[in-house]
Structures are given as structure tokens and as C-alpha cells.
Structure 1
């Protein structure tokens, strides 16, 4: 592990989907080594039968045909919302095109091993109660892992965790709407003294200070924050 190779002490971790699962598992096992988790579309349960079947289809196609168009489309659908994947009338976004090119460069055997591993993951829900670090979760409301993020948030200590739901976004919030992550991450990092605007005071017990967040960003329906769609002007 890099933690031991580079003699790192306590760290703050950030991961997406399967990466978020691995980091959460690490934080459960080595609680003294993780001071914070930033998780994007995290996983914590074993695959549902629909996800298991979805992965099995990709595994079989990969085995017989390699990284073909069908596999790429299924992977893109898992990670990106329909808006950025495009349609007959709307071209797909630059980030999806870049991801498609990266998939062309990946060896089928490596992708196959990844899917086998993620399809056999155990449920770590019970271990979430052992987490002692602050956790900030992001998920797009169009992500196939949206319900998983809600489930995970319900099991975490609400004093030390917050959920940010980003509307009109898929699993890859970091790529589709990275600007939606800025304000929540600022408030999250303030709790560690890593970001200190002079006009803001924080509760040391909470990863996000509700008193410092604009009321329109708060939603009683979610277990943390719910961001409205963010639109940018194109000149």
C-alpha cells in the first residue's frame, strides 16, 4: 500500500464508485489512518441482481468480443448522464468522447478483471458504523448508484457526514459538474482548518456547517445538501 511505502500518516481520501468503495473499506479497517473521506457515487452494498446481471452481460461480451462498442456504451451509460452522452440531435460532450478514447486504449483482460471484482464485492454496510472520520458524499440524481449513496448516508453518523445530490448528473460528478463540488468541499475542508475565509466560523463537530450555507441549498428531503442544477453561459 502507498500509505506504508511512502510512510504516510493520517490521510484524506477521495474516490469514485469502486474507488470510493475501496477507500471506505480501508477507512473501516485502518480508522487511525484516515481523517476524512470524499466519496463520489460510492458503493457499500453487494451488487443488486440487476447490477449483477448488467455486469455479467458486459463480462460475457468482453470475453468473446473484447472492448467493442456495446461494452463501451454500457460503461458510459453507467458513469455519465444522458445529457452529456448525447443523442441523434445533440452530439456527445468532450468528456464522453475523451472517455471513449481511453476505453479504446484499455486492455479487455484488465476491464474484465475489474468487473469480476466489482461484481463479487461484499456488503460493508455494518462496517460504516465504525467509521470515525468525517465523510462528504456526492452523487448525481441520474446515477445508477443514487440509491446506494442514500443507503450509505443513512448508515453514517449524521454529525460527521453529509450528502450532496447534484441534479441532472450521472455518477461522474467530478467530470460532469465539478463546479457543483466547490462550495460543499470548501465547507468540508474548513472543518480541518485547510480553508479559512475570515468571515466564516465552523462547528468543529460537523463536516459541513449549515449556518454558513445559503438556505436555498438545503433540502429536508435529502440527508445533507441538495444542489439545484447549475447552468453556465456559453459566449
Structure 2
């Protein structure tokens, strides 16, 4: 198994191959800069980090490291990156695990949109300084759709790319591969759709979802006609750019658009990308409905945070999705002055919103926060604000199940207030 140290101060990677003894040989040239942050004056205390062929970790005095450099082991674990190709019936799925899973705590599992891979979709967010508080508590598993990772080989002629439902079916195998029981999903666009399908089919494996630009509906005839005219079916860069970004961004932010257009044209495998786009445009309706008393419907059972920028091309789809979910478990976050990729455009605000969401699930009760702006609305977005979620979070994670039960009871008490509320619960829309 190969381990990669993902250095926050450098884009370099240090490949370490596990040896049967306590000496970890490092092959090839490697620039290690993370000691400047974590060792701070102790450059010679535990690790001799110079330009050399080998790095020796002396296990005979483990307590010395902990005494002189408290937190070093945890910091090193946080930096560990493992890349795995998980075998599935639909081909290999590239997964990148950052950090070490912590006991019974879920892992954050991400899934990217079309035209992207996990790096171009999530690096800006996960490299943001505010995100470090979250990644100290949770390992992160980035999943790349088949054939979309960096350096992917071209699929052979005749290869049948999996449908969106089939891609979702690969995720239980990913969890099994890493020995995970549950995840908190974080998806954008096509990735949000895939994670939603996964949560519908395997509710016990998903504790929560943050869905950016989610569209649960099948592509309509008008959408198909527009995409046919614009060249969508050929996965042209402009068509994908129009899916990822709003018109205002495309017209005004030339540097950002140019960067992603170059990535789509030169970094992505064009043949594989075309297959992924075709699979997404052939998606079927998720057929979710808002739960009503006495009526059995298909809906998400986990807590969900729907996110969309106010100038995103996905605004209408996200708002429509929100009307189909349980208002006692769903929060809609509209981000002002934000386009189609909140994780790129507003990483600090998105990180804070995700912290509130995590707290509402009973995790990270002591996380640092500032206040998000709330506005009352009758749109049915959610009866639960981030502050409400936070107030119900427990300091002991063992009480999480009771937190979920109490929240369900709270939702029923709201529904019982009036006949009008039974039909359309009043709710809180969070904006920032």
C-alpha cells in the first residue's frame, strides 16, 4: 500500500511505501515542507528531514516524540493520503482517503460534478484554513467517477459506461473496501444526484448529505432540445461551463472560466468525459416526495443541507428539490453573491454552514462559529435553522440517536400546530 503525504505548504507529494520494519524508505525526489508548520524549531528532535534517500522513524522512543512534540502523531495522521482503485462490477473507482477514520465516527465522502475530478472540485474548499477544524475530526474520502481522475486511461471501444444509478451502486463497495459503516456525503451537481440515489437505496449508510446544485429530476424534453442545439451531447467545454457556472460569472470572471475551460480541454480524458456527461443527461427522476402523515413516499431519511448560489444555473432545480424533502430534516442555504460553485466562490461561508450542519447531527459541539444570517420564509425550506440544530447538538456523541429522535418529535409537534402547518410547514431559510 502506498501512502502519500499531502503537504499544505506545497503541491508536492511524498510517497512512502510501508516496510515490514520500522524504517520507511522514501523513493525518488521529495520536498517536505510540512515540518515548518508542525515542528517549529524542533527540526532535529524527532525526524531528521533533509534531502536524503531514507527517512528513519525510530520507534524505540515513541514517548519522546509525544512529550517533545505533542500532537505530532495526530498531525501526521491528518496529512496521510491513500489512493485506492476499488474494483466494482462497473469498473475501477479511484478513491482518495485523507486522514484516518476515527472509530465509529462517519467519514466525509465527496463526489464531484461533470467536467471535474475530486481535486478541481474540492481542493479550494479543503485547503481553506477554516476547513482544518473539520478535517481534524473527520477523515475524508474523495471519490472520482469512473474514468474521470487525473491520468485516467481511455476506456476501450464498446465499454458501456454505468448509469447514474449504477455509479451509486459502487459506493457500498467503497465503504466495504475501507471498512466504513457510514458517511456524511458532500456532492455537487451529478455528484449530488449520485449521493442522493445512494442515500435512498442505502439509508443506513448515510448520516447526512450536503447537496450543492442538486437536480433530482430527469432531463426534460426542453432541456434535451436546448442541449442538443448547444452541443451538450458532444461534451464541449462551453456546454459544461454553462452547466457549472452562471451567466454572470461567465461574462465577468474570465480568469476563473478560463482556468476551468483549460482544465476541461487539457486535463480531462475527453472520451471518458463524454461518457460521464451522457450518463448524467440520461439520469432518471429520483421520484422523491415530501412525506405526509399516513402516506408512504420515497424521500431522504437523513438530514440534508441543500446549497445553491443565488446566480447559479441550478437555483430552480434546488428550490424544487427542497419542496420534495422532509422540512424537519432539510435546510436550504442560498448563498448571496455566489455563482455555480460555492465551494470555489465562497469556501469560508460554505465551511461555516457545514460546521453548523455537522453540529446539528451531534458532532463537533465546541466548533468555533460566527452567526449566519437567517430570514423567515413560507417556502417550506426547513423548520430547522443552523442555530436550532446547534442548540440541539449534544456534547457527548453517544447521545446522537436521542438527538435524532427528539428532532423527529419536534417536527411532529410543529406539524400538529395547525391544519395549515400540516400541509405546508413554515420554515427557516438560511442565507449568507
Query: 2: CA distance between counterparts of 1:148 and 1:180?
Result: 22
Query: Which structure carries more helix by proportion?
Result: 1
**1:73 is matched with which residue: 210, 220, 238?**
238
Distance in 2 (CA, whole Å) between partners of 1:197 and 1:44 is 34
Most deviating of 123-132 and 73-82: 123-132
1:2 aligned partner: 174
> What displacement does 1:198 show?
7.9
- Structure 1 position 225 matched with structure 2 position 390: no
Report the CA distance between 1:83 and its aligned residue.
Answer: 3.8
Q: Quote the Cα distance in structure 1 between the aligned partners of 2:429 and 2:354.
A: 12
Task: Decide whether aligned partners of structure 1 residues 151 and 34 sit closer, same or farther in structure 2, where only a CA change above 3 A counts.
Answer: same
- Please say if 1:113 is aligned against 2:275: yes
Greater per-residue strand proportion: 2
Does residue 1:140 correspond to 2:330, yes or no?
A: no
- The one-character-per-residue Cα deviations of 1:12-43 (angstroms, maximum 9, x if unpaired) are 11000000000000000001000000100012
**1:113, CA displacement in angstroms?**
1.0
Which string of whole-angstrom CA distances, capped at 9 and with x for unpartnered residues, describes residues 132-181 of structure 1?
11000101222222111111111111111100112333321111222331
Does residue 33 (structure 1) correspond to residue 205 (structure 2)? The answer is: yes
The 3-state SS of whatever aligns with 2:210 is: strand
1:170 aligns with 2:327: no
Taking the TM superposition and a 5 Å limit, the aligned residue runs for 1:152-167 are: 152-167=321-336
Q: CA deviation at 1:100?
A: 1.6
Q: How many residues align?
A: 204
Please point out which of 184, 187, 197 is paired with 2:356: 187
Contact 2:189 / 2:215 at 8 angstroms: preserved in 1? yes
Structure 2: give runs of 5+ residues left out of the alignment: 1-172, 291-297, 382-427
8 Å contact 1:81–1:168 — kept in the other structure? no
CA distance in 2: counterparts of 1:218 and 1:156, whole angstroms: 20
CA distance in 2, matches of 1:59, 1:50: 13
2:368 & 2:343 partners in 1: Cα distance? 28
Cα distance change on mapping 1:218 and 1:197 into 2, 3 Å:
farther
Report if aligned partners of 2:215, 2:318 keep a CA contact under 8 Å in 1.
yes
Distance 1:106 1:10 in 2: 30
Q: Could you state the TM-score of these two structures normalised by the residue count of structure 1?
A: 0.76
The answer to whether 1:82 aligns with 2:254 is: no
**3-state SS of 1:115 partner:** helix
CA distance in 2, matches of 1:178, 1:122: 31
How far residue 125 of structure 1 moved from its aligned partner, in angstroms, is 2.7
Structure 1: distance between partners of 2:228 and 2:337: 28
- Measured after TM superposition, the shift of residue 221 of structure 1 is 5.6
Structure 1 or 2, whichever has the larger Rg, is 2
Report the secondary structure of 2:334's partner residue: strand
Whole-angstrom CA distance in 1 between matches of 2:299 and 2:309: 26
- Give the whole-Å Cα distance in 2 for the aligned partners of 1:199 and 1:177: 18
CA contact (8 A) 2:243 2:313 kept: yes
Q: Which residue of 2 aligns with 1:124?
A: 286
Q: Which has the higher contact order (CA 8 A, sep 6+)?
A: 1
* Secondary structure of 1:74's aligned partner: helix
For 2:356 and 2:249, the matched residues in 1 are separated by 28
C-alpha spacing 1:221/1:213, structure 2 compared with 1 (3 Å): farther
Query: Residue in 1 aligned with 2:215?
Result: 43
User: Tell me, what secondary structure is at the counterpart of 2:323?
Assistant: helix
Contact 2:306 2:332 in 1 (8 A): yes
Partner of 1:209: none
Aligned to 2:259: 98
User: What is the alpha-carbon root mean square deviation over aligned residues?
Assistant: 2.6
